[in-house]
């Protein structure tokens, strides 16, 4: 028996049974992935134990599937949700050629990478406040762009002001009181800063929207995800920031995205300097 064939040592059915006992709804699919990932029977046992203890499957495997590819996701880093592919699709549809993309609150960096790859040769800047997310995003982004650590726009290079065509911001948007209601996989294993959006869930969105017009290129767009319940408030927030909002809903993905687009007019020119007065003779 090869040490690389743990499935021969532990029948798939036995893994399925263990996962099912632990409450995994997709036990068959998960068991197949764990068998594929394990390089030895010992490692398989460890992976099954971690999953049965409630660690998200993506953290057990070390990757998450998003937009047709696998992204590295470390423990303690937000797992990109499949529904957020809808946001990326909408961004790809409105991006100009050679777009400059910024991915705020980037987590693993999956959104920015997926969009930059779909657009081909886009300029990509991503940032997050969590060091673990930044480390993970740096691996995923590779030489496709730059990843910065810090609060929202603060770490971005000043030269990016007024140049961002697409600003992705899948900010935390769970209202504080609802965090306790999330499934344990999120509540226990994802960092609170990735989930908790304040009283109504929109505190981080407000801060992003307020600053976005300074960073967007003329005609550039900010895209945020929200719950259905938050949709009207999110529209108000983007409008108050001077952006033209519209709502995109996908029943297929169970996702709501609010897009705020900056005006096409070039920013008002700085006031002309008064003509130099001739010095009296
Ligand atoms: C909902 S997760 C989304 C992650 C990623 N965009 C995705 O969709 O997979 C929100 C992310 O925002 C980051 N975050 C929260 N507050 C932040 C802030 N003030 N500045 C930068 N990042 C922040 C968290 O660390 C977390 O990675």
Whole-number Å distance between alpha carbons of 136 and 66 = 15
| 98 CB neighbour count, 10 Å cutoff | 11
Q: What is the pLDDT of residues 215-259, one digit of tens each?
A: 999 999 999 999 999 999 999 999 999 999 999 999 999 999 999
- Residue 122 binned pLDDT confidence (cut-offs 50, 70, 90): confident
CA of 137 to the centre of ligand 1 (A): 11
What does residue 19 show for φ and ψ, rounded to 5 degrees?
-65, -40
* pTM for the model: 0.90
Whole-number Å distance between alpha carbons of 271 and 279 = 23
Whole-number Å distance between alpha carbons of 187 and 193 = 11
pLDDT for the residue 176: 98
Mean per-residue pLDDT, 261-280: 54
**Minimum CA distance residue for ligand 1 atom 27:** 107
**235's tokens:** 């529209």
**Minimum CA distance residue for ligand 1 atom 2:** 194
Kindly give the pairing relationship between strand 244-250 and strand 63-66: unpaired
pLDDT for the residue 273: 42
Q: What is the pLDDT of residues 151-200, one digit of tens each?
A: 999 999 999 999 999 999 999 999 999 999 999 999 999 999 999 999 99
- The domain limits of the chain are 6-53, 82-261
| Homologous superfamily of 82-261 | Vaccinia Virus protein VP39 (3.40.50.150)
Ligand 1 atom closest to the CA of 152, numbered from 1: 20
């Amino acid at each position: 028996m090869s040490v690389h064939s743990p499935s021969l040592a532990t029948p798939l059915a036995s893994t399925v049974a263990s996962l099912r006992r632990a409450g995994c709804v997709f036990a068959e699919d998960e068991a197949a992935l764990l068998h594929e990932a394990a390089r030895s029977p010992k490692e398989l046992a460890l992976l099954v134990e971690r999953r049965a203890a409630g660690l998200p499957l993506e953290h057990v495997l070390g990757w998450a599937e998003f937009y047709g590819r696998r992204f590295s996701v470390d423990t303690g880093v937000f797992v990109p949700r499949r529904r957020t592919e809808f946001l990326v699709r909408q961004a790809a549809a409105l991006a100009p050629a050679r777009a400059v993309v910024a991915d705020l609150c980037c987590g693993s960096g999956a959104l920015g990478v997926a969009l930059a790859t779909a657009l081909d040769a886009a300029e990509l800047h991503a940032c997050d406040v969590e060091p673990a997310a930044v480390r993970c995003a740096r691996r995923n982004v590779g030489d496709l762009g730059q990843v910065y650590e810090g609060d929202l726009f603060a770490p971005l290079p000043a030269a990016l002001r007024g140049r961002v065509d697409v600003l992705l911001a899948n900010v935390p948007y769970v209202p504080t009181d609802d965090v306790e209601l999330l499934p344990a996989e999120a509540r226990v294993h994802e960092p609170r800063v990735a989930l908790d959006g304040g009283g109504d869930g929109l505190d981080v969105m407000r801060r992003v929207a307020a600053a976005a017009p300074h960073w967007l290129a003329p005609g550039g767009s900010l895209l945020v995800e929200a719950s259905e319940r938050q949709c009207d408030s999110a529209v108000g927030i983007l409008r108050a920031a001077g952006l033209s909002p519209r709502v995109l809903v996908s029943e297929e993905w169970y996702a709501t995205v609010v897009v705020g687009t900056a005006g096409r007019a070039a920013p008002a020119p700085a006031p002309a300097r008064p003509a130099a007065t001739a010095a009296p003779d």
